């Protein structure tokens, strides 16, 4: 079995260096370990050849897969797969069957399908695709109507389809970048795809609204668990919850606030709760416990919100106990 070849762009798995009779077995091992286990079948009598280039960018696997005619069949099994596949076709004809629907793609077309569900991918004239393996939570955050778009062909000639095709192509070509930039790149790609699919197939409004609520709740729970972290910013929060800064700002704008303002309010509320219950002895202890680094700033903001400074509230509690 040939060794994988490390390059500046990606990890490359070629079959050309192998003996002809070994190539297809090697290819099956490589494809199944890179994506998900599938049953594979050659669709031509010619000696098999293929090449797979794989690179990671911000937690998403980007692949360029090329081979002679082949079919991949995903059985109904549960092996812990937790990804969606976004495939940009570069071959004459490609077919994906899933959810009782058949998607045909021509060069430049895109299809989204679920790696955890049974599917069949057929490439009668040979395979040539760019494939993104996107973590489930990340895709569902950026494409609220994903269930509505599963296994529907996003044609390159559709509204925003050409933009989505160009963006995915350039994202694949981009040189490796730091994780933070990679996450921003992924967020941009998924946001454009979401808009392109919605333009082509409409939106599932109820589902989208429900998903937005889940997105906001996920962010809020993360913030409440990390009130003591002093370095939270829009960028660090968006990276932690796998949404782009633009999406994060949009989610809280719909609630009439910003993510940082909401975080500030929760810190003040938590501080108020422990002070009014007398659970601390010093105001500085409260400030540090809930992410405030400037004691004077904390005191001014607290008094503006509750009418008393933290020191006054703590003294008031002690007087109450004395009586």
Query: What are the pLDDT digits (tens) for 240-255?
Result: 999 999 989 888 876 6
CATH no. for 5-203: 2.60.120.10
pLDDT tens column, 17-31: 899 999 999 999 999
Please check whether residue 82 is in contact with residue 47, taking contact to mean a CB–CB distance below 8 angstroms.
no
DSSP letter assigned to residue 74: E
With 0-12 / 13-18 / 19 or more C-beta atoms within 10 angstroms meaning exposed / middle / buried, residue 239 is: buried
How confident is residue 79, by pLDDT bands cut at 50, 70 and 90?
Answer: low
Q: How far apart are CA 147 and CA 213, in angstroms?
A: 16
Interior angle at CA 316, CA 311 and CA 318, nearest 5:
100
**Could you tell me where in the chain the CATH 1.10.10.60 domains are found?**
220-323
Residues of the chain with CATH 2.60.120.10: 5-203
CATH code matching the domain that covers 220-323, chosen among 3.40.50.720, 1.10.1660.10, 3.40.720.10, 1.10.10.60: 1.10.10.60
**pLDDT (mean) for 83-100:** 92
pLDDT(81) > 50: yes
Q: Is the pLDDT of residue 142 over 80?
A: yes
Longest dimension (CA), the chain: 94
pLDDT recorded at residue 80: 61
| Predicted confidence band of residue 165 (pLDDT cuts 50, 70, 90) | very high
Digit-coded pLDDT (tens) for 168-180:
999 999 988 888 8
């Amino acid at each position: 079995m040939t060794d994988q070849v490390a390059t500046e762009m990606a990890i490359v798995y070629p079959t050309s260096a192998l003996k002809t009779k070994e190539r297809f077995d090697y290819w099956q091992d490589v494809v199944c370990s890179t994506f998900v286990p599938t049953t594979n079948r050659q669709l031509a009598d010619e000696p098999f050849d293929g090449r797979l280039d794989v690179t990671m960018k911000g937690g998403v696997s980007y692949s360029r897969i090329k081979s002679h005619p082949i079919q991949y069949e995903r059985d109904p099994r549960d092996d812990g797969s937790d990804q969606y596949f976004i495939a940009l076709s570069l071959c004459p004809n490609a077919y994906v069957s899933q959810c009782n629907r058949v998607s045909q793609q021509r060069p430049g077309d895109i299809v989204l399908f679920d790696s955890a569900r049974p599917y069949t991918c057929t490439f009668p004239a040979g395979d040539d695709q760019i494939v993104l393996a996107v973590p489930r939570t990340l895709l569902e955050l950026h494409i609220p109507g994903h269930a509505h778009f599963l296994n529907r062909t996003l044609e390159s000639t559709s509204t925003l389809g050409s933009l989505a095709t160009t963006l995915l192509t350039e994202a694949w070509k981009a040189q490796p970048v730091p994780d933070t930039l990679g996450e921003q790149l992924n967020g941009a790609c998924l946001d454009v795809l979401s808009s392109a699919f919605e333009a082509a197939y409409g939106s599932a409004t109820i589902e989208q609204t429900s998903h937005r609520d889940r997105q906001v709740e996920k962010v809020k729970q993360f913030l409440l668990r990390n009130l003591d972290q002093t370095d939270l910013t829009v960028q660090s929060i968006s990276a932690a919850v796998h949404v782009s800064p633009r999406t994060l700002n949009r989610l809280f704008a719909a609630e009439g606030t910003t993510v940082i303002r909401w975080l500030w309010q929760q810190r003040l509320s938590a501080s108020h709760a422990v002070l009014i219950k007398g659970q601390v002895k010093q105001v500085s202890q409260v400030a540090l416990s809930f992410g405030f680094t400037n004691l004077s700033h904390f005191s001014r903001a607290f008094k503006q919100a509750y009418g008393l400074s933290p020191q006054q509230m703590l003294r008031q509690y002690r007087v109450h106990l004395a009586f």
